A and B are shown apart, each in its own frame.
Chain A
Amino acid sequence: MREEQKQKQLLSIIFQKGYAFRLAERMCKVRAVLEKKIKLNLSVDHFELLEAIDPQLRYYYEELLRSEHNLLEREKMMMQDTYGKPLLITNKLVSFIAAGAELDTDFDTFPNHYIKFSFEGPAENLKHLNEREDQLSVYSDKLKDLQDYSHATIEYFVRNVDLSQYEKEEREETFSKLQQYSNEYLDREKNCLPLSVIRVTHIEGLKEKHMKFGCERLRDVIFEDLSCSESDLNSLIKKYENGSNLLVRKVRGIERVG
């Protein structure tokens, strides 16, 4: 047998560039939700799973299913706008794609994924998955000592991991560690990079004075699933206005942004 023929053969399907990782990421998110539920001996519905991977779609389906209209009317609701004219299908698709991209790492460039149509074969996909294995591990292992992780992994964790699976104390500890880490770049000896993302989640009564994240090189600011007073949220938005993307989702207790 010739030498070339002894090479390892991989049999798989091709993915659009980056999508094997995205798929793996989604599976990790679903696994994290399932593990938590199993641990607490609770059942899980598909809305909770959708919430983990695509919150906008979860909201849309939930609204439709909980609606008091009959099935025919609901079907009509999906297909028509308030003026009774058919929806522009392209808009609907764009909207859904955009919805999925809301929390993406690189949502500035997301349309390129859909336009370029560059594909990767199994070997490339496997290579990329291996390269980013540590990032996927943050869904199952709780982030403990930050020194054990690369800067990219810490940023990935901040951006993606749902802290609701953490106990309250663990959550507070992680929050304070991340806050400390975000300011370490000020210490030149440590040779750290500033965080490009701030994500605050699952905090009841968030106060502006408790947020002391470094904001140099800040790009994304995310407030998610928390309660906060109106004045505190407005002050926080103002405080971190250096970021170019601001996401406020499921924030309770605010009537006005402005």
Chain B
Amino acid sequence: MGLGGMLEIKNIKRLSITECPQLSTIDIKCDQLENAILRNNCNLTHIYINSKKLMNLDCSQCSKLRLENIGIYIFMKCNVLLCSNSCDGDVKRLEDKNYSIFLTRILRYLFNRFHSENLYKLDLALTLNKLELIDEKYYMFGSTRFNPSGLANNLSFITKAGTEALRITQQQIIELFMKNEFIDVLSIDEMLKVQLECLRVAVNYLKTTKVVRPLKELIFREIIKTPELFN
């Protein structure tokens, strides 16, 4: 068994845990795992799965499970089929609601963009290597490790990952958001929420730092248009 009660399993490709009435937590590391069916566990509240190959996670009809308590390996190679919980929820493709995909898409975009423009002359292999390092640290999120309900946290997560791997600043990331750079990878409502959060972070930045660093004009203009952010 691994650290922190995590169970390491070597070869399992397909895992099915269903109708276990007392089961509340699943915490496994399994590099080969491709499909996980965790249906009908009425007391299941937390899922942490660490697998680079996970393609399908089905946790339908687990009525106590909340999306924020699902931790999955953050850099997926493929789309993940996450199913929402409970009988009335049944099955739903959570492509847009799935924060791991949300974050992954943004990060991939960042890596692709910065690599292709050769801004920092980062070697792709090195970037991926960095990504792996980040994997180990942030491979999962849940109520205790990462809180996806606040987009501010998402933003700081993205920034941290971006800063570590690409050496770009938070301001640059905020700027990318404000320029609608992510419009291809995010839905409109996701985009607006993140932009608003970006502005809050920028305002906070202005309120808390004594030395006012030059904010990009674009961000500044948006802040001025939204004075209630200062309240």
Cα of A242 to Cα of B13 in the assembled complex, Å: 10
Centre residue among B15, B26, B32, B90 by max chain A CB count within 10 A: B90
Q: Is the CB of A249 within 8 A of B19?
A: yes
With contacts A56-B39, A81-B89, A248-B17 known, is A254 near B27, CB below 8 A?
no
With contacts A60-B61, A81-B92, A95-B60 known, is A102 near B16, CB below 8 A?
yes
In the complex, residue of chain B having the shortest beta-carbon distance to the beta carbon of A82:
B89
Contacts of A247 in B (CB 8 A): 15-17
Q: Is the CB of A95 within 8 A of B91?
A: yes
A contacts, CB < 8 Å to B: 55-56, 59-60, 63-64, 67, 76-78, 80-83, 85, 87-88, 91-92, 95, 98-99, 102, 107-108, 234, 237-238, 241-258
Interface secondary structure of B, over-half rule: loop
With contacts A63-B61, A249-B20, A252-B22 known, is A257 near B27, CB below 8 A?
yes
Give the interface size class of chain B.
Answer: 35 or more
Cα of A154 to Cα of B4 in the assembled complex, Å: 40
* CB proximity of A257 to chain B, nearest CB, Å: 5
Report if B183 contacts A (CB, 8 A): no
Stretch at the interface among B78-86, B147-155, B173-181, B210-218: B78-86
In the complex, residue of chain B having the shortest beta-carbon distance to the beta carbon of A247:
B16
Q: Is the CB of A245 within 8 A of B13?
A: yes
B83's partner among A59, A64, A95, A237 (CB-CB below 8 A) is A95
Q: Is the CB of B90 within 8 A of A67?
A: no
Q: Is the CB of B17 within 8 A of A257?
A: yes
Report if B73 contacts A (CB, 8 A): no
What 8 A-B pairs are tightest by C-beta distance, nearest first? Answer: A258-B27, A82-B89, A81-B92, A77-B88, A258-B7, A247-B16, A244-B13, A248-B17
* CB proximity of A54 to chain B, nearest CB, Å: 13
Cα of A78 to Cα of B27 in the assembled complex, Å: 30
Residues 22-58 of B contacting A (Cβ, < 8 Å): 22-28, 32, 37, 39-40, 43, 48, 58
Report if B11 contacts A (CB, 8 A): yes
Contacts of B225 in A (CB 8 A): none
Cα of A108 to Cα of B81 in the assembled complex, Å: 18
* CB proximity of B132 to chain A, nearest CB, Å: 23
Given A77-B88, A245-B15, A256-B23; 5 other pairs, CB 8 A cutoff: A64-B87, A83-B97, A243-B12, A258-B5, A258-B28
In the complex, residue of chain A having the shortest beta-carbon distance to the beta carbon of B58:
A95
Report if B224 contacts A (CB, 8 A): no
